[in-house]
């Protein structure tokens, strides 16, 4: 097997390893001498699947992508930091288990009103884009209708509320039966639809009932999990407590621990690779302060987490029925201690998925003063 990588500028090099990250398989150039087929390429794991009859020799060509077409606009991938530690661009996506916005304050604001530019008509329709992901969705709320690209967005201000909520007033971490799930997918969703409907009712039909993964770490192994391992654990159908479900279809949820981890770009002392290799439980280590300090999902907490210890995340504990995961104001992802799902209240930021296949960006620059607008 020969592996050839193009750097995007016409230069090709041969390597012994299948690349990971911002690469695509060049299907036009890739070929096998004896009619073997390359079935798939996973850029996250660097794995390729083949179909052979007998022996064969294959030539795999990969192209590096420095940017992608994101809802009709070009956005840079994995921009380098400048000498001050700040990113050289405000449009940064990382291709790791989906395209995630990263950095201290990327231009990822999106307003769901009916304007094409300028400030958002109402703060309650101002969101930020977590990223673009391939995810299952449902038309009836219970069964999968397939997988499609979905735009994941997060509220910017506790949805205009200063209240804090328990994860579940009933005391267990069964998410579909929790009071927070009920609140998000009823009164909160009704409010979102009501407000959006005043500005751009066409957006309402783009809110997707998506699959939310309910796998989670235990209080003990959380201390060992990096961002990528948390992503895997969230989707591990065995990482649940008792008879809790491993997933649910819903229109509103919360961010995952891995969303928080993938949002950092790192800094000059601790770069992004080192942040990815560090357990999120231990991000409160002062030598890793570059990780949360250059993570927009952490930095934007300060707008509503005043004198509050943390923020609820989606993932329930897989070891104990009374705990779920949260971000503490000392930067780390935590679980347990005295903060049970019933015994403590945190603010929340509702998260939605929009159908990325039928929307395009038609205006704005993604800044808070001129957020993106979609058709």
Q: Which string of DSSP letters, residue by residue, matches 177-201?
A: GSHHHHHIIIIIHHHHHHHHHHHHG
Say what the pLDDT of residue 82 is: 41
pLDDT of residue 86: 45
Do the beta carbons of residue 78 and residue 92 sit within 8 Å? yes
Q: pLDDT digit string (tens) for 350-375?
A: 999 999 999 999 999 999 999 999 98
Tokens of 129: 């884009």
93 within 8 A of 68, measured Cβ to Cβ: yes
The β-bridge partners of 325 are 335
Question: What is the C-alpha separation between 171 and 173, in angstroms, rounded?
Answer: 7
Contact yes or no for 183/189 (Cβ under 8 A): no
- Stated pTM of the model: 0.86
pLDDT of residue 9: 76
Residue 144 backbone dihedrals phi, psi, to 5 degrees: -70, 135
pLDDT for the residue 331: 79
Element (H, E) at 76: strand 73-77
SS (H, E, C) 26-60: CCCCCEECCCCEEEEEECCCCEEEEECCCCCCEEE
Which parts of the chain sit beneath pLDDT 50? 80-89, 160, 306-307
- The pLDDT tens digits of the residues spanning 238-258 come to 999 999 999 999 999 999 999
What does the pLDDT read at residue 253?
Answer: 96
Distance CA 303, CA 41 (A): 41
Instruction: Report pLDDT for 138.
Output: 97
């Amino acid at each position: 097997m020969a592996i050839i990588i193009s750097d995007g500028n016409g230069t090709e090099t041969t390597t012994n390893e299948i690349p990971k990250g911002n690469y695509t398989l060049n299907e036009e150039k890739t070929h096998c001498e004896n009619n073997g087929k390359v079935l798939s390429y996973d850029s996250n794991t660097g794995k390729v699947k083949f179909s052979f009859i007998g022996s064969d020799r294959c030539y795999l060509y990969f192209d590096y992508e420095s940017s992608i077409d994101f809802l009709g606009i070009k956005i840079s991938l994995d921009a380098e930091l400048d000498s001050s530690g700040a990113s050289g661009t405000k449009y940064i996506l990382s291709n790791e288990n989906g395209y995630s916005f990263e950095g201290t304050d990327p231009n990822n604001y999106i307003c769901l009103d009916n304007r094409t530019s300028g400030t958002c008509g109402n703060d309650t329709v101002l969101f930020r884009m977590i990223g673009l992901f391939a995810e299952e969705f449902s038309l009836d709320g219970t069964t999968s209708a397939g997988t499609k690209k979905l735009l994941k967005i997060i509220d910017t201000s506790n949805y205009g509320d200063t209240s804090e909520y328990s994860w579940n007033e009933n005391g267990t971490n069964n998410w579909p039966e929790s009071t927070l799930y009920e609140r998000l997918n009823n009164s909160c969703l009704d409010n979102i639809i009501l407000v959006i409907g005043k500005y751009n009712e066409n957006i309402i039909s783009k809110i997707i009932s998506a699959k939310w993964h309910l796998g989670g770490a235990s209080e003990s192994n959380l201390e060992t999990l990096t961002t990528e391992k948390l992503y895997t654990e969230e989707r591990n159908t065995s990482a649940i407590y008792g008879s809790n479900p491993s997933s649910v279809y819903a229109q509103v949820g919360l961010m995952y621990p891995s969303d928080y981890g993938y949002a950092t770009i790192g800094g000059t002392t601790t770069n992004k690779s080192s942040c990815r290799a560090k357990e999120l439980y231990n991000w409160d280590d002062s030598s890793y302060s570059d990780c949360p300090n250059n993570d927009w999902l952490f930095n934007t907490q300060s707008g509503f987490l005043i004198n509050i210890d943390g923020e609820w995340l989606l993932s329930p504990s897989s070891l104990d029925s009374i705990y779920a995961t949260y971000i503490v104001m000392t930067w780390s992802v935590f679980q347990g201690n005295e903060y049970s799902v019933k015994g403590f209240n945190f603010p929340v930021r509702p998260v939605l998925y929009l159908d990325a296949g039928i929307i395009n960006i038609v205006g704005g620059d993604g800044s808070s003063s001129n957020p993106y607008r979609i058709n």
